[in-house]
A = this chain, B = another copy of it.
């Protein structure tokens, strides 16, 4: 019955002159709306035109069909289309105190690792019906603070953050106030919080053991010396542990900590000159790795014949370098996905744990830069 009705009403608009007039009116109204546009169409306009109250329109908008006659519902839906009505999310958010927006604060947009994290976050937001606000702290704690406050002003439902780890009071306040947020990639000391990280110790474990298995005896590790950040420290710790577990002593540690603002290639060359017996490099950062390759080349040494290289962060180009680079692959996309799911759970009120840590596993991808067929040092 209802079906028949629909079809009929759709298929015979040309029957009476009245019908045609109405339809002409529609077109005119539509044109006017399109022309002006600045005069945005609101829920009231829809209600008026459909001859119902705002309440009823609101119900339909939110999928609450139970309380409304099919006929009314269809009419409203029709009007919504005709007017090309788009509900104002600001008004909705103001009323309901929730925006379905989450914010992400990254500290580096350039690194492809973060691109993949962002991709994971974006995909998952889309899947779960959230929108995403993004900003870049650029490792500046002031910017970070500013952005967190901005997000709160904007009533974002939750925040994913790769923290500078230099706004401790603020992080604590967020936790205390139960503001949904998830920390990714880094750990914040002494803070009980939701966290998604990659096992850095394990990454180092894979890298250094692999080098040892390939017969390397004097392995060095290089890292950017950011005192607040946990990641590289854990990787260096892992390096130490493997050495100790393999019977080396503390005096055998060869650790190069690089000031992020220095000339990485120069520093690396100096280090290699001072430690001419080094036969392998474990680089905890892909930018360091590129510079190291240059440094080694300029010293007229060969990879892997003289020095083997294992680098953090798999990238699209690693296998195209000369030689192809052995890397530790971190599941960046996954990290983004997991963090977003966790955040949304926490927003929804499922998952009321204060803290929960997801630890993802890195993976070793072996290529020529670390294999020793032609290793020719004593």
**Which A positions have Cβ atoms within 8 angstroms of B?**
34-35, 37-38, 86-91, 93-94, 99, 101, 109-110, 112, 115-116, 118-119, 122-123, 126, 131-136, 143, 149-150, 152-155, 173, 176-179, 287, 290, 293-294, 315-317, 320-323
Known: A88-B153, A135-B131, A176-B34. A109 touches B99 (CB 8 A): no
Complex Cα gap A173–B31 (Å): 11
| Pairwise interchain contact A136-B110, C-beta atoms closer than 8 A | no
Q: Is the CB of A132 within 8 A of B131?
A: no
Most buried by B among A86, A149, A317: A317
Supposing A153-B86, A178-B38, A320-B294 touch, asked if A119 and B110 sit within 8 A by C-beta, the answer is yes
Q: Tell me the nearest residue of chain B to A297, going by C-beta.
A: B320
- Which 5 A-B pairs have CB atoms at the shortest separation, nearest pair first? A322-B322, A37-B177, A317-B317, A89-B154, A89-B153
- Least Cβ–Cβ distance between A100 and chain B, in angstroms: 9
What residues of B have a CB within 8 angstroms of the CB of A154 in the complex? 89-90, 101, 131
Expressed in whole angstroms, the Cα–Cα distance for A38 and B177 within the complex equals: 7
B109, B150, B316, B320: the one within 8 Å of A293 (CB): B320
Residue of chain B at shortest CB distance from A91? B94
Closest chain-B Cβ to A173's Cβ sits at a distance in Å of 7
A122 touches B136 (CB 8 A): yes
Q: How far is the CB of A42 from chain B (nearest CB, A)?
A: 12
CA distance A87 to B317 in the complex (A): 46
Tell me how far the C-beta of A362 lies from the nearest C-beta in chain B, rounded to whole angstroms.
20
Chain B residues whose C-beta falls within 8 Å of the C-beta of A315 in the assembled complex: 317
Which residue of B88, B99, B321 is within 8 Å of A94 (Cβ)?
B88
A122 CA to B143 CA in the complex, in Å? 12
Residue of B nearest to A134 (CB): B134
Q: Find chain B residues with CB under 8 A from A143 CB.
A: 126
Please give me the residue from chain B that is nearest to A104 by CB atom.
B134
- Are A134 and B136 interface neighbours, CB within 8 A? no
Contact in complex: B135, A320 (CB < 8 Å) = no
Q: Indicate if the CB atoms of B112 and A110 lie closer than 8 Å.
A: yes
Q: How far is the CA of A99 from the CA of B91 in the complex (A)?
A: 12
One of B116, B176, B290 near A37 (C-beta < 8 A): B176
Bound complex: CA A150 to CA B38 (Å): 17
Q: Which of B91, B132, B290 contacts A320 (CB 8 A)?
A: B290
Measured between beta carbons, the chain B residues less than 8 angstroms from A176 are 34-35, 37
Docked pose: A86 CA to B287 CA in angstroms: 39
Could you pull out 7 A-B pairs where Cβ atoms are within 8 angstroms?
A: A86-B149, A109-B122, A110-B119, A132-B133, A287-B316, A290-B320, A317-B317
Q: Are B115 and A110 in contact (CB under 8 A)?
A: yes
Q: Are A134 and B153 in contact (CB under 8 A)?
A: no
Q: Is the CB of B86 within 8 A of A90?
A: no
Q: Is the CB of A131 within 8 A of B109?
A: no
Give the Cβ gap from A318 to chain B, nearest Cβ, in Å: 9
Residues of B within 8 A of A88 (CB): 94, 153, 155
A86–B170 alpha-carbon span in the complex (Å): 14
Contact B122 A116 (CB under 8 A): no
- Report B-chain residues with C-beta under 8 Å of the C-beta of A149: 86
Q: Is the CB of A90 within 8 A of B87?
A: no
Contact A123:B135 (CB < 8 A) given known A89-B154, A90-B155: no
Chain B positions within 8 Å of A290 at CB level? 316-317, 320
Known: A110-B119, A112-B110, A290-B320. A131 touches B155 (CB 8 A): no
